[in-house]
Amino acid sequence: MIHRLQRIVQEVNRARDIDSALVLITESLTQDLNAQACSIFLAKENEPGVMILQASNGLNPAIIGNVERKLGQGLIGTIAARAEAMNLIDAPKHKKFLLVPDSGEVDFPIMLGVPIIAHREVLGVISVQRAKNAFNEDEEAFLTTLAAQLATSIERAESKGRVSIEASTHTIKGVAGAPGMAIGVAMVLNRGVNLESVPDKKTDDIDGELKSFRAAVSKVCEELTEQAEKMRASLPEEECALFLAYAQMLTGGSLIDDTEKGISNGNWAPSSWRDTIEQHAYVFTQMEDRYLAERANDIRDLGLRVLRKLMLEQSIYLDFPEQTILVGDDVTATDLADVPLDCLSGIVSAHGSSSSHVAILAHALGIPAVMGVPNLPVKQLDGVNLIVDGYSGSAFINPDKSILAEYNQYLKEEEAIEQDLLVIKNQPAVTTDQHKVSLMVNSGLMSDHTPSLRSGAEGVGLYRTEIPFQIRDRFPSEEEQYLIYRNVLETFKGMPVVLRTLDVGGDKPLSYFPISEANPFLGWRGVRITLDHPEIFVTQVRAMIRANVGINNLEILLPMITGKGELEESLVLIKRVLAEIEEEVGEKITLPKIGAMIEVPSAVYQIEDICALVDFVSIGTNDLTQYLLAVDRNNENVAELYSSLHPAVLKAMCQIVEGAEASDTPVSVCGELAGDPLGVMALLGMGIDSLSMSVGSLLRAKKVIMSFSHAELTELLQQALALPDAFTIREMYAGKLEERGLGGFLRAGK
């Protein structure tokens, strides 16, 4: 059964569009289930609750596209409405049966139908029919399992078909990653990590593509031959022969010929190679012999080896459009670094959420992002016109004139909003009843400094020191770190600068310090790593304290604190470093203020003990939300469940504030909630009066603060805490913002 399931799913995934995919499914199921007929109904895109017959094998082909069923109508509509299978030995006698004239189905009274469901939504129904012999439990289980697996494949095939066939606008929906809007041209970057996301591209330079392909193949051949020679000293000859067999496959034959044929037909080399590898691997996967079937992995491995070389050959020819929309299966921070900032206008990623690392960086850069787009047809998008709406989490592929005009107008209105906000740049952030709020910026890039100062920020509430670590191929030295920290401390002289110690792991890896874990967010990250490697921690703290000499605006923030023990260990090391530097310079140095990030539930319940050891605490709402709600913030499948306005998260933050008040410990917020206009309202209602956010959010946050009284926000928080879920809380706060004429902070247009 498993082999049959895999074969059908693989065939569907290879299909060029939805029609081809459905034909493959109906033909395969008719054969595998010994059925005389197989039909597939799919939900109509613009008519909720209505399904149409889109494919059939064994019935009159004239009925395809001409039979519709509403939810609850007929057997098909009943299966969809109930979202459960029906196995009938005499379908025409069922009270819900509706005969389709001239279909031929009366000859096949035995029927098995199952719903196709993805993300709680019924996409359609698959039914099989035959003349005799009821469908048994194994056959029902097979069809149910297949329908569950096919749901994603069918969505992907539909997206692929719409983009490649329709010239009209196609809307895709993900989650709002970073606010703002952009109109530009999609660019798909591929570093040779996988074959599946290699974009389709046409080329006029066939000779150039052939040259690049042959150069890549030649380099891989040389490497494989060298590897075989090296291995002969320690491996049997038959093991070494594998490398030589790989090299032999690249010296000629169908792999090379088919790829060069694809290039000659006008396709660029990477997509031609991708198609050839997929075709050859597919042939092996269809073989009954298990040993031969597994040779498909060898083909794919060889494919990746050549692809990596080929992408290196191609990278020197990259030409970024003036308004680049970066598109990918999983856009990374490294991808962002590859695009010149003056060209980067927006991001669309198949994976990730509003609080994933790339979304946070996009927010910091003021670049709109749409994350977690299911079944994003990445391969078809390179060079396509796109509109990115980071407010709604939508993007428009091939936007028509009316949508372009609409968003051009929105962009003008957005510019007008930004110009209006400049008026309050130098005004204090004070509520209408004179409650003062300190607004600082989150930073981590040298390029952030000037915009941050111009924005009217009162300091740096969070400097992400991991970014200088991520952009290198080794740990930065103490001197390199000293220069970076000295620069930021001097730039903001007279204002507090909170430097967070190294916070890597989770979704912030270091290429030269690999961490392989099944659950990285629950694993080795933050202060856990630096305490296990005190040489890293001590070097960084030395650089920080040295950089602070003569400036004295440094505050050190410790991430991922789960209890007193980690704090006490960290403080011992920090004080030891201070004493060493005092001895080196021969003078007394003031110990910087030390703070703890509260982002783990255990820290919430130990808040009073933690506050007794530190000078301040800073709430990291991104991870706190993730851990409290058990929602991986990088997982697009549960992105809709992630919200820092969830009642549980708000109540936890209230508990932090109350616990800190007992020892008069200042509380700030440096997570993304601090820059969310609705989050600002909630946080002020708790009594928090220090917020740190991306520079692009600062003036909007200030405008929200200046539009409400503190007493009003305190009352609104009590109302919010009585509401059942994040959606209703967001709606309540959004309504209040609309009343103040600030709805343009949450959506496109004023």
- Looking at residue 601, its pLDDT comes to 96
The answer to whether the beta carbons of residues 471 and 433 sit under 8 Å apart is no
Query: How confident is the model over 309-321, as pLDDT tens digits?
Result: 888 766 655 678 8
Query: What residue ranges define each of the domains in the chain, with the CATH number in brackets?
Result: 2-165 (3.30.450.40), 168-399 (1.10.274.10), 431-745 (3.20.20.60)
Q: Helices 478-491 and 534-548, interaxial angle, to 10°?
A: 40
Catalytic annotation present for 670: yes
Q: For the residues 706-724, what does the mean pLDDT come to?
A: 97
CA dihedral 127, 133, 136, 140 (to 10 degrees): -10
Burial 592-610 (b: 16+ CB within 10 A, else e): bbbbbbbbbeebbebbeeb
**470 token code pair:** 């991520």
Q: Look at residue 454 and tell me whether its pLDDT is greater than 90.
A: no
Give the chain's mean pLDDT. 87
pLDDT tens, position by position, 442-453: 987 665 667 777
pLDDT exceeds cutoff 60 at 382: yes
**Candidates 351, 646, 670, 710; catalytic one:** 670
Q: What is the pLDDT of residues 30-86, one digit of tens each?
A: 988 999 999 999 998 778 899 999 999 999 999 999 999 999 999 999 999 999 999
Q: Specify the pLDDT at position 572.
A: 96
Question: What is the DSSP-derived secondary structure letter of residue 26?
Answer: H
What per-residue confidence (pLDDT) applies to 378?
84
Q: Which of residues 27 and 665 earns the better pLDDT score? A: 665
* 390 pLDDT tier (thresholds 50, 70, 90): very high
Q: How confident is the model over 92-110, as pLDDT tens digits?
A: 999 999 999 999 998 999 9
pLDDT tier at 165, thresholds 50, 70, 90: very low
- Two structure tokens written together for 197: 């996301």
- Report residue 248's pLDDT band, with 50, 70 and 90 as the boundaries: confident
* Residue 53 near residue 41 (C-beta atoms within 8 A): yes
Residue 87, H or E segment: strand 86-88
Question: Which residues touch 575 (CB under 8 Å, ≥6 apart)?
Answer: 591
Catalytic residue among 351, 357, 363, 435: 357
Would you tell me how many other CB atoms lie within 10 Å of the CB of residue 642? 24
User: Stretch 230-253: mean pLDDT, rounded?
Assistant: 70
Residue 88, number of CB atoms within 10 A of its CB = 20
- 497-538 confidence digits (pLDDT tens): 999 999 887 667 777 777 777 677 787 888 998 899 999 999
**pLDDT confidence of residue 391:** 92
Most confident of 401-410, 631-640, 723-732: 723-732
For residue 555, what are the CA distances in angstroms to 439, 551, 552?
16, 12, 9
Instruction: Identify the three-state secondary structure at position 102.
Output: coil
Q: Is the pLDDT of residue 583 over 80?
A: yes
Paired residues of 114 in beta bridges: 126
Closest CA to 437 of 269, 617, 659, 681: 681
The question of whether 94 is a catalytic residue gets the answer: no
